[in-house]
């Protein structure tokens, strides 16, 4: 489950704590999409989905991240 071969063509873009991660796929048919990595909790790698159940693109992921950072900054 933790073989490095499983993340070839991906780059780590976010750690969420407790060993949960998010990967940006940079090659292959999933290129430009984000995958969730909860293998530390005995869950497999899987596509991260948006609120409509569609695969999350990097652009959508990044804009969502920026909006959340702005909200937290404003809440102060």
pTM score over 0.85: no
- Which tokens go with 60? 């959508």
What local confidence, expressed as pLDDT, does residue 62 receive? 95
Q: Which secondary-structure segment (H or E) carries 73?
A: helix 58-75
Is the pLDDT at 33 greater than 90? The verdict is yes
Whether residue 49 contacts residue 55, with contact meaning beta carbons closer than 8 Å, is answered with yes
Confidence of residue 16 (pLDDT cuts 50, 70, 90): confident
Q: C-alpha distances in angstroms, 6 versus 25, 52, 69?
A: 11, 27, 30
48: left (phi over 0), alpha (psi -120 to 50) or beta: beta
Pick from 3, 57, 62: which is nearest to 31 by CA? Answer: 57
Task: Provide mean pLDDT across the span 53-67.
Answer: 95
Task: Provide mean pLDDT across the span 3-17.
Answer: 87
Task: Provide mean pLDDT across the span 39-55.
Answer: 94
Task: Provide mean pLDDT across the span 40-63.
Answer: 94
């Amino acid at each position: 489950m933790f073989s490095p071969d499983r993340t070839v063509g991906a780059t780590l873009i976010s750690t969420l704590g407790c060993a949960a991660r998010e990967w940006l796929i940079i090659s292959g048919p999933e290129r430009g999409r984000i995958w969730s990595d909860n293998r530390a909790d005995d869950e497999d790698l899987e596509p991260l989905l948006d609120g409509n159940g569609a695969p999350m693109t990097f652009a959508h992921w990044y804009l969502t991240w920026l909006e959340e950072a702005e909200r937290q900054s404003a809440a102060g």
